[in-house]
Amino acid sequence: MKKLSIVDIANSLNISKTTVSFILNGRAREKRISDEMIERVLKYVNEVGYKPNTLAKSLRTGKSHTIGLLVQDISNHFFAAIARQIEDRAYKNGYKIIYSSTDNDTRKTKELIALFRDQHVDGYIIVPPLGIEADIEDLIADGFPVVLFDRYLPGVETDHVLVDNLFSTYNATRLLIDKGYEHIAFISYESTQTQMEHRKQGYRKAIEESKLKPNILEVDFYKEEKLIIEEIRSFILNNKNIDAVLFGNNYLGTCGLKVFRSSGIKIPDDIALISFDDLEVFELYTPEITAIAQPVEAIAEEVITILLNRLNNVPKDDSKQQVTLATELKIRKSTR
């Protein structure tokens, strides 16, 4: 059973392929094609199970109905959960997703963007690493819709959806302060990415407002887990006065859990703990871990809605859509 083309359909019906094309693309009315013709074509097409060749269509129209999704790491639950939602909405709207993990690696990301362009991707959803500014600007200059999330690129005007990182850590730190903790550490990455910067600023703001002393550990993102754990461990062990720790993301939070558990540090009696991002493990841990939950569904929803609107040229106006969502501090048992 060879694959049918539009010409085969036209020949079988003794009409021109133009007519078939118009009918198939819903432009029959506009072209004033007779109802019976429409009926006949549709019926036949359906009967023989004809499917237009999307590749040929894309080549002709320049649209691929494909969205490129670049997250930091698809195996991290935060990104996987968002990818899942985006995928759902995209497929429902006739878009396929091609995706990849950037590993926060600028070079890899550059290559990936080139690959996606090459593939005639219609729109981009990107969790941008640093150093990718120019590539994003090129994309935009060439008229591609791109929406960033989780972080943004200062100086690059794009659509993006973020959470209120600064307030989130400010709020969490305040909780700790209000509970009477006085030596609160913040553990994060050596990173100037906006989300991490803002989380640090939120922490600092609360600490300084209360005339406490900030104590920050920034680990190397690219180190392997074992080494990160050791770094955290020696930080904790060398700063005996620490009575509470705020972790900058879910990964660091679980690393912290591993450190405390293996070092026999009791939560919250010895040290209190709050982590950015919520995870099932935080809910199920003993004691349950207080966490800053990002609104995963809302983020995904905003991202894909903005992109789909751009793809359909709505809104007509050119102003960038930049939304900031609130997080929820889930207060559990990891603070006294």
Partner DNA sequence: ATGAAAGCGCTAACAT
Partner DNA sequence: ATGTTAGCGCTTTCAT
Query: ∠ CA(94), CA(133), CA(312), 5° rounding?
Result: 25
Contact pick of 42, 44, 57, 77 for DNA (by CB under 7 A): 57
Query: In the set 19, 254, 290, 334, which binds its own copies (CB under 8 A)?
Result: 254
Contact 219, 157 (CB under 8 A): no
| Residue 316 is a binding residue for its own copies (CB under 8 A) | no
Give yes or no for a contact between 123 and 103, defined as CB atoms under 8 angstroms apart.
no
152-184 burial by CB neighbour count: b if 16+ within 10 A, else e? bbeebebbbbbbebbbbbbbbbbbbbeeebeeb
- Among residues 1, 11, 12, 14, which is the contact residue for DNA, using CB under 7 A? 14
The nearest distance, CB 122 to its own copies, in angstroms, is 12
Question: Hey, which residues between 28 and 47 contact DNA (CB under 7 A)?
Answer: 31-34, 37
Q: What sign does the CA torsion over 163, 165, 166, 169 have?
A: positive
Q: Is 51 in the site for its own copies (CB under 8 A)?
A: yes
SS3 329: strand
Residue 285 contacts which entry, DNA, its own copies, none (Cβ below 5-8 A, type-dependent) = its own copies
Of 210, 201, 212, the residue nearest 170 (C-alpha): 201
How far apart are the C-alpha atoms of 125 and 109, rounded to whole Å? 12
Closest distance of CB 117 from its own copies, Å = 8
Q: Which does 261 bind (CB under 5 to 8 A by kind): its own copies, DNA, none?
A: its own copies
**d(C-alpha 156, C-alpha 139), whole Å:** 11
Task: Give 90-126 as a DSSP string.
Answer: HHHTT-EEEEEE-TT-HHHHHHHHHHHHHTT-SEEEE
Check the CA dihedral 231-236-242-247 and report its sign: positive
The 268-307 site mask, x for binding its own copies (CB under 8 A), equals -----------xxx--xxx---------------------
For residue 83, state whether it binds its own copies (rule: CB under 8 A): yes
User: Per the structure block, which two tokens stand in for 267?
Assistant: 């939560």
Which of 29, 39, 48, 61 binds DNA (CB under 7 A)? It is 61
The site partner of 75 among DNA, its own copies, none (C-beta below 5 to 8 Å per kind) is its own copies
- When asked if residue 59 is in the footprint of DNA (CB under 7 A), the reply is yes
Of 4-12, 100-108, 125-133, 174-182, which part binds DNA (CB under 7 A)? 4-12
Note whether 149 and 160 are within 8 A (CB): yes
Are 207 and 235 a contacting pair, CB within 8 Å? no
Partner from DNA, its own copies, none binding residue 16, C-beta < 5-8 Å depending on class: DNA
Given the rule CB under 7 A, which residues bind DNA? Answer: 3, 5-7, 14-19, 21-22, 24-25, 27, 31-34, 37, 52-53, 56-57, 59-61
Given the rule CB under 8 A, which residues bind its own copies? Answer: 51, 53-56, 58-59, 64, 66, 73-75, 77, 80-81, 83-84, 87-88, 91, 96-101, 112, 114-115, 118-120, 254, 257-258, 261, 279-281, 284-286
